[in-house]
Structure 1
Amino acid sequence: MAKSSAPSRERIVAGAADMISRRGLSATSIRDLAKHAKAPLGSTYHYFPEGKQQLVTEAVRYAGGAVARILRAELKAGPVAGVRAFLGLWRGIVVESDFRAGCPVLAVSVEEPPLDEVSPALTAAAEAFEGWERLLAESLREHGVTRDRAEGLAALIVASVEGATAMCRAKRSAQPLDQVAQQLEELIVGAIDRPA
């Protein structure tokens, strides 16, 4: 969550991302989100006049952007280092929260949108996943992996990390992320060594 000295709007968005990562989308009301962010309910409606959907969408964008910034910085050292950092980020979140928190982007993704429309929050979640995949694929391509293989491997990395994060919460153990880390690192090294 953002520091309490952060602007009220940012604190509310960060608090919403944190709460969604812990309780999911359906189990959080706008009142709960404001309380979790230590913000007045009136401020929440002032900043997010469209209500919960607008706040959730911004929380997903916030979380997706925060992860992308970390991933972008770590990928400068190469795809193996980037994936280690990506896995380390999620491992830290689940372990430090005593397996109570996961990924808010995933939490929103698994909630059912209305059948007649795609929610803006679900669209933001798809954009976050695509952004992470794009960063990983670009790094892999920079290290000699073909475009198709890099894109496939990037999707596998994101899907594996997100799934392992959920498994960690269910099992109350970091073992799934640790196992996935080892396998992904071997796949990345193999793809770089044999890019064809």
Structure 2
Amino acid sequence: MAKASTPSRERIVAGAADLISRRGLNAASIRELAKHAHAPLGSTYHYFPGGKRQVATEAVEFAGEAVSRRLRKELVEGPVEGLRAFLGLWRGIVVDSDFRAGCPVLAVSVEEPPEGEETPELAAAAKAFAEWQALLADSLLAHGVDAETAADLAVLIVASVEGATAMCRAARSELPLDRVERQLEAAILRVLPSA
């Protein structure tokens, strides 16, 4: 949850990301988003005249960029280190929340949008996933992996970690992330030319 010392708008966005990661988007009203962020409802409407859609979109963008920042930092050390950081991030969120929170990007992605609508929050989720994949693929490329294998492995990493995060929540156990970590690390080591 957002800290009370952060600016109100930022607190609302961070709080929305946290609430969506716990309940999903469709189960959270604008009133609940404001309450979860410890922000006045009037401030929420002031900062987000587009309502719940706008808050949700910015929450997904916020979460996506937070993960991207972490990946950029850790991938400097190499793809295995980046993978470990990616897994560590989600492990921390799942365990620290007592298996109540997961990924807000995934939460928005699995909810059905209104029929025939292309929603901005779903577009933000697709963008976040694509950026994480690109960062991982670029790191693999920089370490001598061919472009197609790098792209395939990046998709595998993101899909596996996101799925394992959801499985951890359901099982109330870190075991899915532990198993995925072993297999993904082995997959990376198999394709690295110097490994």
Superposition TM-score tier, normalisation by shorter sequence: over 0.9
| Residue of structure 2 equivalent to 1:157 | 157
1:147-196 CA-to-partner distances (Å, cap 9, x unmatched) read: 1110010000000000000000000000000000000000001110389x
| Residue of structure 1 equivalent to 2:44 | 44
Distance 1:11 1:71 in 2: 23
TM-score (norm 1): 0.97
| Residue of structure 2 equivalent to 1:28 | 28
Distance 2:173 2:126 in 1: 27
Letter aligned with residue 46 of structure 2: H
| Residue of structure 1 equivalent to 2:77 | 77
| Residue of structure 1 equivalent to 2:136 | 136
Unaligned runs of 5+ in 1: none
| Residue of structure 1 equivalent to 2:103 | 103
Distance 2:6 2:27 in 1: 26
1:49-106 CA-to-partner distances (Å, cap 9, x unmatched) read: 0100000000000000000000110000000000000001101110111100000000
1:22-55 CA-to-partner distances (Å, cap 9, x unmatched) read: 1111110000000000000000000000100000
1:131-154 CA-to-partner distances (Å, cap 9, x unmatched) read: 000000000000000011100100
| Residue of structure 1 equivalent to 2:58 | 58
Q: Residue 114 of structure 1: SS of its match in structure 2? A: coil
Distance 2:20 2:58 in 1: 12
Aligned length: 195
Distance 1:54 1:144 in 2: 41
Distance 1:123 1:89 in 2: 23
Letter aligned with residue 35 of structure 1: K
Q: Residue 70 of structure 2: SS of its match in structure 1? A: helix
TM-score (norm 2): 0.98
Consecutive aligned runs of 4 or more in structure 1 exceeding 6 Å deviation: none
Distance 1:15 1:104 in 2: 11
Distance 1:81 1:50 in 2: 39
Percent identity of paired positions between Structure 1 and Structure 2: 70
Q: Residue 193 of structure 1: SS of its match in structure 2? A: coil
Distance 1:18 1:11 in 2: 10
Q: Which deviates further from its counterpart, 1-10 or 70-79?
A: 1-10
Q: CA deviation at 1:5?
A: 1.4
